[in-house]
Structure formats: C-alpha cells, structure tokens
Amino acid sequence: MAKAWHLVSRPQGLPTMDNFALRDLPDQPLEANQLRVRNRWLSVDPYMRGRMNDAKSYAASFQLGEPMTGGAIGEVVESRMDGFAPGDLILHMGGWRDGGVIGLDLMPNKLPRQLLDAGMPPQTFLHNMGLTGGTAWIGLLRVAAAKPGETVFVSAAAGAVGSAVVQIAKAREMTVIGSAGGAEKCAWVADIGADAAVDYKAGPVLPQLAAALEGLGKPGIDVYFDNVGGEHLDAAFAVANDFARFAICGMIDVYNDGHPQEMKYLIRTIPARIRMEGFIYTDQFFDCMEEFYADMGALIASGAVTIRETVHDGIDAAPEAFLGLFAGENIGKMLVRI
C-alpha cells in the first residue's frame, strides 16, 4: 500500500514535524488516463513553504488532511494512459509519496530515453534539467538578460538554483560573485567557477561584496539573481551599476518570518535606473523549453554545468529533508531517494 505525507496543520513561521503525517493512500483500481507508479526520487523545494499557507499564491495551497504534492521521478508499474508502458521513467507532480495513482492533473511526462541511455541520471530532471536548472536559466538569461562580460551576483550560490546560475554565467563568460553560508559551501561555489565567494555567516554581506568587486576590479554588479531577499537584496541595491537588472527568484530569508525587510539602498533604484522583476519558472518555461533542453543539455554534457546532491533516504525522511532547506543544510539540490 502506498503512503503519502499529508499536511495536518499549517505552520506559523518555520514549519515543524508536527505539520506533517505519513498516512496510507487508499487502494484504488486504475481508471482510464491513469498510471500506477512507484516513485524513485522526490524533490523538496523552498517554494513549497508558500503552499503550506492558506493564502492565494501562484502555486495552489496544500489542503489540510490531504496528501501533499511536488516534483518526483517514478517508474510506471501499470498504465491505462496512452503512450506510457510499465518500466517507463516519468517526471510528475505526485511527490511526497512513495507511489500510487497518477492522473493527468499531476502532469506525467516521460523522461527522454536518448538522454537516459547516454548516462544522464534520472533525478537530473528534478534539478538541472528541470525546475531548478530551468529557473536559473530563465532568470539569468531571460529575466535579467545577462550578457557576456557582465558582472553577476547570486545569493544562495551553493543551492540548487544558485549553483546552476553560477555555472551558466561562467559558461557565458560573465564575472560571478556567489554568496553562501560557511566555508565549505563557499569553497564549493569557487570550485564550480565563481570568481569570488561571500560568506554571509562570516559577517555582513555588503562590505564583503564591495571587497570582492574591488578585488576583481569591477565597479559594481550588472545583474543580481536573488534567492534570499533581505540583507542580500539591499547589498545588491547598494552596489548596482547603472541599468542593473535584478531577477527575483526567491526570498528564503523571509518565507518564515513576518518581519519587514529593511531596505537602506532601495532608493538607488532611481539614480541607477535599476529594473527588479519577480518571475516564476512555469510562466516562461513552456515558451522556451526546447531551447532550454538543448542549451542546458549541452552544458551538462560538456561538464560546464554540474551539481551536488544532498540526499535523504526513504519516504520517512521527506519532511526532514524539506526542513533542512531552511536550515541551510543542503549543498546543491536536496532530494529524497526511495
């Protein structure tokens, strides 16, 4: 019998284990246009925190007492859906569970056999070839319209999205400064090619960012890719070059925290003519999916874009993997392997 994590209470601030319960899913016969699936990999992502609230947002709220959902890689064990056969590996939105019945509402898509046969691990479609890599690519190249020769600052640069931003930017001949928390993460950010790393746990962001720019002989940043908000965002306003573009992907610093963000340098929006824009992967992904797969696939194949995975094992571990995102526990992509 398949089991799924259900939302049993809504968090105030940081989520806790009490918000989740692992429960059996009812057995049910397979109907037309359904697949029975055994999941292999589950994704946990910061945006899911918003879905735990009972508030209108771009992603529908999880309902109390119902199974949670999210990106997953599964293997088809039974199919009543055209084009899918037992043994197929699929990407779908029926995560937070070890398996069960997947209908069209959970958007099953077969993984491309050609890439799997060439050795691409299936869980790549949960990160660099999927949500986090697509978010990085769209935000950097489309929203911020970053160009070769420009200077890019990216926060949470050791995370799944941030590490992809660093590597795509370096592959496009940009200068990159990444911020991360702690020496180990900063070392990895440098390993994947960043020209400088800022350790936000070692001291305030702005003086470190300014020192990094000076060390690189750059007057300021042309692009800021924000995953964090708060102090990082304010530091980006402080050092923005004229006509800088900020792609706002996340503000993990404030997801669990109702405090206002204190913006001392927001006023530089006017003299520096800064453009700041929030974006969501799904708004733009389907318009550029083919270009993204071709470009990102080539970057991965050439070794220009790599990843680290922080893996928790077993369906029991999903909530602790998710909570680890907010404790800065992961390097690269946080995953649950089943």
Task: Please state, in angstroms and rounded to a whole number, the distance separating the CA atoms of residues 15 and 282.
Answer: 25
What gap in Å lies between CA 236 and CA 77, rounded to an integer?
Answer: 49
The answer to whether residue 285 forms part of the interface with a second copy (CB under 8 A) is: no
Q: Which is nearer to a second copy, 229 or 319 (CB)?
A: 229
Q: Closest distance between a second copy and the C-beta of residue 148, in Å? A: 23
Supply the minimum distance, in Å, between the C-beta of residue 285 and a second copy: 14
278 counts as binding a second copy under rule CB under 8 A: yes
How far is it, in rounded angstroms, from Cα 134 to Cα 137?
5
Shortest approach of a second copy to residue 195 CB, angstroms? 25
- Is 70 or 139 the residue whose CB approaches a second copy more closely? 139
Residue 85 phi/psi, 5° resolution? -135, 155
Q: Which is nearer to a second copy, 23 or 142 (CB)?
A: 142
- Is the CB of 198 or the CB of 252 nearer to a second copy? 252
Backbone angles phi, psi at 282, to 5 degrees: -70, -20
Q: What number of other Cβ atoms are within 10 A of residue 234's Cβ?
A: 18
Report the residue from 107, 118, 267, 294 that binds a second copy according to the rule CB under 8 A. 267
**Where does residue 157 fall: left (phi above 0), alpha (psi -120 to 50 degrees), or beta otherwise?**
alpha
286 secondary structure, DSSP code: H
For a second copy, the closer of residues 248 and 299 by Cβ is 248
The residue within the footprint of a second copy, chosen from 108, 162, 178, 229 (CB under 8 A), is 229
Report whether 56 contacts 46 (CB < 8 A). no
Q: How far is the CB of 186 from a second copy (least distance, A)?
A: 26
Residue 226 corresponds to which tokens in the numbers above?
Answer: 């924000």
Q: How far is the CB of 229 from a second copy (least distance, A)?
A: 7
How many C-beta neighbours within 10 Å does residue 6 have? 20
Q: Per-residue b/e over 195-227, b at no fewer than 16 CB within 10 Å? A: bbbbbbeeeebbebbeebbeeeebebbbbbbbb
| Ranges within 104-163 binding a second copy (CB under 8 A) | none
Considering only 165, 272, 318, 335, the residue that binds a second copy (CB under 8 A) is 272
Q: Does 248 participate in binding a second copy (rule CB under 8 A)?
A: yes
Say how many C-beta atoms besides its own lie within 10 A of residue 320's C-beta: 15
Q: Which of 29, 217, 271, 303 binds a second copy (CB under 8 A)?
A: 271
| Contact yes or no for 79/85 (Cβ under 8 A) | yes
What part of residues 40-59 is at the interface with a second copy (CB under 8 A)? 50, 57-58
Q: What is the CA angle 262-329-292, rounded to 5?
A: 80
Which C-beta is closer to a second copy: that of 140 or that of 251?
A: 251
Query: Counting contacts by CB under 8 A, is residue 270 touching a second copy?
Result: yes
Which of 32, 260, 286, 302 contacts a second copy by CB under 8 A? 260
Q: Least CB distance from residue 275 to a second copy, whole Å?
A: 4
Is 279 one of the binding residues for a second copy (CB under 8 A)? yes
Residues near a second copy (CB under 8 A) are: 50, 57-58, 229, 234, 248-251, 254-255, 258, 260-264, 266-280, 283
